[in-house]
Structure 1
Amino acid sequence: MQSKGFSFEGQNIYIGIDVHLKTWAVAIMIETGVIERFSQASEASILYAHLQKRYPGGNYFSVYESGFCGFSTHYCLQSFGINNMVVNAADVPTSQKEKVHKTDPVDAVKLVKSLKSRLLHSIYIPEMEIVLDRDLVRTRTAIVKDVSRWKTRIKHLLYRHGVKYPERFANANTHWSRRFFKWLEEEVELLPGSSREPLLQHIASYLVSCERLLDITRKIRTLSRNETYAQNMELLCSIPGIGFHTAISFLTEMGDIRRFSNEKEFASFIGIVPTCHSSGEKENTGEMTFRGNKHVRQQLVECAWKAISKDLALGACYGKYCQRMDENNAIIRIARKLSNRILTVLKTKRKYVNERNH
């Protein structure tokens, strides 16, 4: 049905979208209330055509929950002039009735009502170029895991066939060299009657993964030298415990550092703030919050373990923490201090000075 003669010029049109792979559940609301609910194919162009037909001249505002589709839907909606926001599903006000009667249309209506009432806050949405750079860095992380898995598979195959390492390869540091692979391919004898094909296939897969790793590492090094990252890379690498690959990962995951107004906000983004349950005069803190960027958090903790052996101040703090808590809790405290350093050097544009060198 077309809105003949109607004009929504200057009026706000609110759209709640429950996004799925093949379909979207859509709820549309004007100032007087929800007036339309429908399902459509998962295409922004279809939604825009519907809005132009039914609500011409309006100011369009939409919202959907972050999930499997990432920000691709957001970019598409924005390209059609729809002011979209992406929200964390946990931040959408939900009644008990909506919890027990959860359907796609119900979710869409819930979103559009919260949007109109201004109860929602968008998560940070980076520029598309940053997202593409982030995908490149994350791909390298996945390939590194693939290389590690193929090493493990080769070793387990040798163990199952009772293969012993010769004296020249007794030290693990000598493994995975050209000499080591020559030994695997030419000298290793598996159980009688066994085919060597599984071993050769494992070796081939490992070598392919290594080639992919080398190729993507070169591309990331080229990326790190462009004007978007070059200066900040130098700043981050001045902090003890942070290396090249961790630095570029941090930068692509964080996006614009100016969005963090203080250290607490930055720590919340990483996910190294504790849960809190307070009532009256009682205040209890619990485990680390499940919210935050898991990629940055994992890498930051790994950096913290390295930093305590390279930085005297952090090493001393870690020793004191271990006197009153277990080492896992202590290293989280160190990671928090490290996050403060990261934010400081990126905000001030000044390198970190290691006290060990003075």
Structure 2
Amino acid sequence: MQSKGFSFEGQNIYIGIDVHLKTWAVAIMIETGVIERFSQESEASILYAHLQKRYPGGNYFSVYESGFCGFSTHYCLQSFGINNIVVNAADVPTSQKEKVHKTDPVDAVKLVKSLKSRLLHSIYIPERAVILDRDLVRTRTAIVKDVSRWKTRIKHLLYRHGVKYPERFANTNTHWSRRFVKWLEEEVELLPGSSREPLLQHIASYLVSCERLLDITRKIRTLSRNETYAQNMELLRSVPGIGFHTAISFLTEMGDIHRFSNEKFIGIVPTSHSSGEKENIGEMTFRGNKHVRQQLVECAWKAISKDLALGACYGRYCQRMDENNAIIRIARKLSNRILTVLKTKRKYVNERNH
């Protein structure tokens, strides 16, 4: 197709992009239909140059499915004046033929057709500053897991060598104190003929992870005191079961809380398959933020011992279902309290304190 001498001034140009690490499959569509399909390097600048050359003066609208690249591609496309949205892959209308013959070009055409037909709705795209804050908090979560792994590795090494804890460390609460680590480094005796090097390397890695954890925790506490989070942190921590790290994680994961109308934003809602007079309620939906959902369930276990109303509800639920299903319902109630305090800007009042 040659566009020399043609102008697309004021016309909408739709672009579907199947994003991969090294290449993009691109489909371009105007009001009359799909007119171009091609593959290119994964660079927004290359796509923009192509659009400027072939479709000068047009209004550019693009879409790609959320995935490994996060929102970096979105920000690049936006920087070139391309109106981009990011969609959940499960929300893209797909025919049986497209499922059977799934290729990158097919996916790109599917996206661009749905975009032109206005069948797609963008997922929430946070500001870059929020993403940076979220990455900081998630990094701490990863380091906490690293610390736990090194503890487990060290203990299993001791078990394999038949090492017994001395009386002063019989209580597990004394484990991982400075005295305990010093005992590991200086006094532990492994099987005869065994090198202590694996144990010392494990201990060194554990101590490095602890230092990293301390450092990033300090940075997160500094972050929580800035004007973006300070007030909401105070509000959230008034809710029973919500601690410091859960509060900052919730705020960085959720972003603008006012975009939610009810507590379903967490994803703690059951699936349903209903037809006619039959209504079948299934297990919890897979949609929602898994980081927040997991932490909220953990907070729910703490909340039932701190909040009289939630504790009473949990007791009633346990009379007709197992405790795991009961705590999920408590987590949903807890999410409703979170949403309320953040929207009303009023601290939660715990009946136990009155």
TM-score tier by shorter-chain length is over 0.9
SS of the residue corresponding to residue 286 of structure 1 reads: strand
Distance in 1 separating the partners of 2:153 and 2:162: 14
Deviation at 1:242, TM superposition (A): 0.3
Output aligned runs, 1:31-180, within 5 Å. Answer: 31-180=31-180
Q: Distance in 1 between matches of 2:151 and 2:261?
A: 44
SS in 1 for 2:40: strand
Please provide the CA RMSD for this pair: 0.7
Give the count of matched residue pairs. Answer: 354
- The answer as to whether partners of 1:2 and 1:53 remain within 8 angstroms in 2 is no
SS at match of 1:226: coil
CA distance in 2, matches of 1:304, 1:320: 15
Q: Distance in 1 between matches of 2:4 and 2:72?
A: 33
Q: 2:303–2:311: 8 Å Cα contact kept in structure 1?
A: yes
Note if 1:220 corresponds to 2:220: yes
Q: CA deviation at 1:262?
A: 2.6
Please state how far the C-alpha of 1:226 moved relative to its aligned partner. 0.7
* 8 Å CA contact retained: 2:24, 2:40: yes
Residue by residue over 1:139-176, the C-alpha shift from the partner in whole angstroms, topping out at 9 and shown as x without a partner, is 00000000000000100000000000000000001111
Distance 1:333 1:181 in 2: 41
Report whether the alignment pairs 1:327 with 2:323. Answer: yes
Cα-to-partner distance string for 1:125-149 (whole Å, 9 max, x where unaligned): 0001101100000000000000000
Within a 5 Å distance, the mapping from 1:183-202 to structure 2 comes to: 183-202=183-202
Q: How much has 1:5 moved relative to structure 2?
A: 1.1
Determine the C-alpha separation between the residues in 1 that align with 2:182 and 2:280: 59
| Partner Cα distance (1:154, 1:262) in 2 | 45
In structure 2, distance between residues paired with 1:13 and 1:81? 12
Moved more, 253-262 or 188-197: 253-262
Match of 1:244 in 2: 244
User: 1:261 Cα deviation (Å)?
Assistant: 2.0
Shift, 1:285, TM fit: 0.7
Tell me whether 282-291 or 1-10 shows the greater mean CA deviation. 1-10
Query: 8 Å contact 2:27–2:37 — kept in the other structure?
Result: yes
Q: 1:185 deviation in Å?
A: 1.0
Shift of 1:284: 1.4
Contact 2:262 / 2:336 at 8 angstroms: preserved in 1?
no
Kept after mapping to 1: 8 A contact 2:263/2:332: no
Deviation at 1:182, TM superposition (A): 1.2
Alignment partners' CA distance in 2, 1:67 and 1:185:
44
Tell me how far 1:281 sits from its aligned partner: 1.2
Deviation track 1:110-133 (CA, whole Å, cap 9, x = no partner) reads 000000000001100000110110
Q: For residues 232 and 285 of structure 2, what CA distance do their matches in structure 1 show?
A: 28
* Residue ranges of structure 2 left out of the alignment (5+ in a row): none
Runs of 4+ in 1 over 4 A off after TM superposition: none
Q: Could you state the TM-score of these two structures normalised by the residue count of structure 1?
A: 0.98
SS in 2 for 1:69: coil
Rounded Cα–Cα distance in structure 2 between residues aligned with 1:2 and 1:301: 58
* Gapped regions of structure 1 (runs ≥ 5): none
Give the distance between the partners of 1:327 and 1:287, measured in 2 at CA: 15
TM-score, with length taken from structure 2: 0.99
- TM-aligned CA deviation for residue 2 of structure 1: 5.3
How big is each residue's C-alpha offset from its partner over 1:83-105, in whole Å with a ceiling of 9 and x where there is no partner? 00000000000000000000000
